[in-house]
Amino acid sequence: AVRGLHVSLLCAVNGLQARTFGVWTLLSSVIRCLCAIDIRNRTLYYITLFTFFLALVHFLSEVFIYHTAELTIGVMAPLMVASFSILGMLIGLQYLEVEELSQNKKKN
């Protein structure tokens, strides 16, 4: 069954899909780098957080809904990166809000 699954997965991906996934990966990495440079930009911060949610949902759906991927290290790695990044960004968001409040108090 595993051998048949492997062969069917090879036939399920074409060049267009591979390039589209590559462009998505490049786009999300550019967004994440821009957020790292300007971490106080609230809109960019939320967009970056959203890219990690999209990645998490994408990989979870491929494993549990579409059954086109198995829980191997190649799938678990991006799941862990997305999960830990979401957690870290949500914690970081609290610090950004506290910092923004303290700056507003200094202005008044």
What is the per-residue pLDDT across 13-51, written as a single tens digit (0 to 9) for each?
A: 789 988 999 999 999 999 999 999 999 999 999 999 999
Q: Where are the domains of the chain?
A: 1-107
pLDDT at 100: 84
pLDDT confidence band for 4 (50 / 70 / 90): low
Mean pLDDT of 52-65: 97
pTM over 0.75: yes
On whether the CB atoms of residues 82 and 59 are closer than 8 A, the answer is yes
User: Could you say which DSSP state residue 65 is in?
Assistant: T
Q: Which pLDDT band, with edges at 50, 70 and 90, does 10 fall under?
A: low
Q: Helix H segments across 1-108? A: 2-12, 15-37, 42-64, 73-107
Has residue 75 got a pLDDT over 70? yes
